[in-house]
Structure 1
Amino acid sequence: MISAPLPADSGSPALPELTAYLDALPEPHILFDRQYRIVAANAAYRRQFGQGAPVVGRTCHEVSHHSPVPCDQAGETCPLARSVLSGQRERVLHLHHTPRGEDYVQIELVPLRDARGQPSYFLEKMEPLPIAQSRADAQGMIGRSPPFQAVLELIARVGPSQASVLLLGESGTGKELAARAVHQASHRASRALVAVDCASLPETLFESELFGHEKGAFTGAHAARAGLVEAAHGGTLFLDEVGDIPMTMQVKLLRLLESGTYRRVGQTELRRADIRVVAATHRNLKAMVAEGRFREDLYYRLSTFPILLPALRDRAEDIALLAHALLERVAPGRALAMAPAAMRRLAQHPFPGNVRELRNVLERAALLTDGAIVTAPTIERSLAFDAFDGSGAQALVGVFQGAAGPHASHARRDATLRSVEDAALRLALSTTAATRQELARALGISTRTLYRKLRALGDQSGVGENG
């Protein structure tokens, strides 16, 4: 990266020597003035962002962003504006247009000073950030909302370091994907990422699973076995739901983090582990520390760099992007599309289960859709699966299947659509306290149709109309 001042007599910094230097760099680089005009661009930039058109003389925001105004007037952070204020190099995360579409790019900008010490030109280096995408056809982390980009920028900063990362957030916010992104952004990306599900390991097996054991260390240990720490050597150890680690194991984990050493169960010899630790939890670890259920020293060792993942309701503008991506995953090969009204209905839902809940809803919708378009009534019906308790859900399953519970044999005997429907509707009414509006949505029919069916059934169930 160039950091020297420009010659005082240089009318233009696009000197042959500078152009030759930039062309030798593998990453896209441009040099531009305080009016955002590009005065030099290397071959990598022209190839990735120029798309065959000349770039010198045009503004950087026009070429990189396809925008007529600077970044800070289009919803992004402008590194030039920040550098003018700070007088230093600046790093920001941007979405740039490429031949593949919009991609995340990490920007590093260095001010170049004239003979008076004033920043007259700026050298910008661009590195692709493959750990996340803004397109629905991508894998991994997907989004473009400001909360999503804020998390992505933190991951990009901490990824190349050795710092321990603590991922916080509600269940279903994508903490495992974020852990994988931290690993991919690190220098350990070519080595293993080993996940430990702390919530599923019983206390009696936790130590041997984590550290391994020697032959005969305990009943059933018929052979020596390496643990997950050993499997992660040289790579990343991901401790998922770290708040569920037993207290007896917390001190041994702390020793591993502080000294990089551990012992297999049944062994006295110390082993060394070259690992980077990423932990995740939906619990409030600070509260657990105050209650004496989590070691304070371990908490501070794990939370060197905490990252809070936003709930889906706080990044609602990403729902459409996520919905298209998830539909492709839950129904591969079907080319399902979302009706505009269906997408609007999704956007109105609070999604307490976050992205995991959104995936469930879309998988149900795909199963309930026979054509190529997922409609709003189908989304309503898919959302209604979660609106009832266990007994109500069983009734609805009966409705969707065409028969339920003790009435199924009667339905088989009569073998008529009306008898099956009546039996299922009676069971649904008897096992849920839903309003008629809620029941109609769950059944995928209008309230008027439900009332007509109830009149035909002669229902006297007393289910409230409004609540």
Structure 2
Amino acid sequence: MNIIASDSSSYEGLASMLEGYDCPAILVSVDYRILAINQHYRDEFGEVPLQQNKRCFEVSHGYSVPCDEAGEDCPISATLQSGHKERVLHIHQTPRGKEHVAVEMLPIHDSQGKLLFFVELLRAISVASTGKANNKLVGASKSFNQMLEKVTRVSPSDASVLLLGESGSGKELVANAIHQGSSRAGNALVTLECSGLTDSLFESELFGHVKGSFTGAHSNRVGLVELANGGTLFLDEIGDVPLSMQVKLLRLIETRSFRPVGSSTIKHSHFRLVCATHKNLAQMVKAGEFRQDLYYRINVFPIHVPSLRERQDDLVLLTNTLLKRISQRKEYHLTDSAMQALKQYDFPGNIRELSNILNRATLLTDTNLIERSTIQECLEIDRELDSLVDASSASQSLSINDAGEDKEWLDLKTAEKRYLLELMAFHHDDKEKVAKVAGISLRSLYRKLE
């Protein structure tokens, strides 16, 4: 075949082949030239002047060299090395700005096995953003894109997913992205925070109960498993599930059947399971603190959610995005020196801590420009609380009956409660807002204010 040697008009017959795909598709030569595009591509990304012999990396990224020479993964290069189709996740320039796009590259050979060209399929990823939308994953760093690529692969399936990452790294948002990218997106995503629950409370929350089944059960209650029927059940901090309850959870996962507390009626629920933890479950299995059979049931497709330290390249993007989410009416900006102060901090609390710091900064600044001194003041609040916690812990280790230790602990609790009460007053008793600013759950806020 001598089709490669002819001009772009020779590809009109081949271009019709692209219309058979249900997503944007382009025909690319072995030297990166875009030969044809389908109507889906025109609708989503616009027209491409084929007569100008534009190359794919010029149109998609504005690069002057192929992606792998610009520091990114190149699907053509990967396909040439493997000899079969490859998939990568890129951030493309689109008429709407920069967007995450899953790229699948299909090599096309002639009957003698000679590589003729590639078909490139592009699917925009709606669950992630480069900073424009609320309730979406935000990022552009390599570690973020590696995580997002796994999210887009597993989302359409019904496989159980285990999210592994530090507290505050955004595991709940990742769970939501998995749900939104699945066929279950039209049904509920039901979340159970497993930490701090007793055996009886965990069982009641998960399976529900009938009236009179225990003291305080004044009416029937539908459990979260039943509410998740047809949707996704997200068990956050699965490592905190009481060992005595893990066998019941295992039975639920294996049979998708359960009984409400106090009932003899067996119910069924068809849900997709997503779990998350900041703990090392493999070590817990070895220590006898987590059932091995349950571990293998939930660990079908593990995804590492990177810490903020692992995605430093996203700090500026995340900061700007969080500031927009914090205040819809007033636009805040950080000075260069203020941003530098954030870059020098290691964020043990990850994105949740960054959000807390920025919330404080907007409260402490008198203008819409956040200075370095304001950021340092926000960071100092955490340092003071940490020092109180450290002092209290050291005191407790010396003697449980030490009166000075008791005073230390009371001082810490008093300082924490005073801080929360001040936030309550500032936010006019809006508990959800206060919990968000303080970086704790609503349940924890109620407990700390008692």
TM category (shorter chain) comes to 0.7 to 0.9
Aligned-residue offset at 1:372: 1.9
* Aligned partner (choices 346, 368, 374) of residue 372 of structure 1: 368
Where does residue 445 of structure 1 map in the other structure? none
Residues 47/287 of structure 1: CA separation in 2 closer, same or farther (3 Å cut) = same
1: distance between equivalents of 2:388 and 2:293?
Answer: 47
Aligned-residue offset at 1:391: 8.6
Where does residue 230 of structure 2 map in the other structure? 234
Where does residue 185 of structure 2 map in the other structure? 189
Where does residue 90 of structure 1 map in the other structure? 86
Give per-residue Cα distances to partners, 1:325-350, cap 9 Å, x unaligned.
Answer: 11112222111111111111111111
Could you tell me which runs of 5 or more consecutive residues in structure 2 were left unpaired when the two chains were aligned: 390-414, 416-450
State the AA in 1 paired with 2:267.
R
Where does residue 340 of structure 1 map in the other structure? 336
Which shows bigger deviation, 133-142 or 221-230? 133-142
**Structure 1 residue ranges, 4+ long, deviating more than 6 angstroms after superposition:** 390-393
State the AA in 2 paired with 1:40.
A
Where does residue 207 of structure 2 map in the other structure? 211
2: distance between equivalents of 1:233 and 1:136?
Answer: 32
Where does residue 179 of structure 1 map in the other structure? 175
State the AA in 2 paired with 1:377.
S
2: distance between equivalents of 1:391 and 1:345?
Answer: 21
Where does residue 60 of structure 1 map in the other structure? 56
Where does residue 409 of structure 2 map in the other structure? none
* Aligned partner (choices 47, 52, 67) of residue 71 of structure 1: 67
Aligned-residue offset at 1:68: 1.1
Aligned partners of 1:169 and 1:309 also within 8 Å: yes
Aligned partners of 2:134 and 2:325 also within 8 Å: no
1: distance between equivalents of 2:36 and 2:76?
Answer: 16
Where does residue 459 of structure 1 map in the other structure? none
Aligned-residue offset at 1:265: 1.8
Flag the structure with larger Rg.
Answer: 1
Give per-residue Cα distances to partners, 1:266-291, cap 9 Å, x unaligned.
Answer: 23332221111100111111121111
Partner secondary structure for residue 388 of structure 1 = helix
TM-score (norm 1): 0.79
Where does residue 126 of structure 1 map in the other structure? 122
1: distance between equivalents of 2:256 and 2:133?
Answer: 40
Where does residue 312 of structure 1 map in the other structure? 308
Q: Does 1:387 align with 2:383?
A: yes
Backbone CA RMSD of aligned residues: 2.1
State the AA in 2 paired with 1:247.
L
Aligned partners of 1:326 and 1:359 also within 8 Å: yes
* Aligned partner (choices 12, 27, 30) of residue 26 of structure 2: 30
1: distance between equivalents of 2:12 and 2:378?
Answer: 63
2: distance between equivalents of 1:229 and 1:155?
Answer: 23
Q: Does 1:261 align with 2:257?
A: yes
Q: Does 1:155 align with 2:181?
A: no
Aligned-residue offset at 1:251: 0.5
Partner secondary structure for residue 222 of structure 1 = coil
Give per-residue Cα distances to partners, 1:406-432, cap 9 Å, x unaligned.
Answer: xxxxxxxxxxxxxxxxxxxxxxxxx9x
Aligned-residue offset at 1:112: 0.4
Residues 103/55 of structure 1: CA separation in 2 closer, same or farther (3 Å cut) = farther
Aligned partners of 1:365 and 1:374 also within 8 Å: yes
Where does residue 244 of structure 1 map in the other structure? 240
1: distance between equivalents of 2:246 and 2:135?
Answer: 34
Report how many aligned residue pairs link the two structures. Answer: 386
Residues 239/392 of structure 1: CA separation in 2 closer, same or farther (3 Å cut) = closer
Partner secondary structure for residue 92 of structure 1 = strand
Could you tell me which runs of 5 or more consecutive residues in structure 1 were left unpaired when the two chains were aligned: 1-7, 394-430, 432-467
Where does residue 359 of structure 2 map in the other structure? 363
* Aligned partner (choices 220, 224, 228) of residue 224 of structure 1: 220
Partner secondary structure for residue 106 of structure 1 = strand
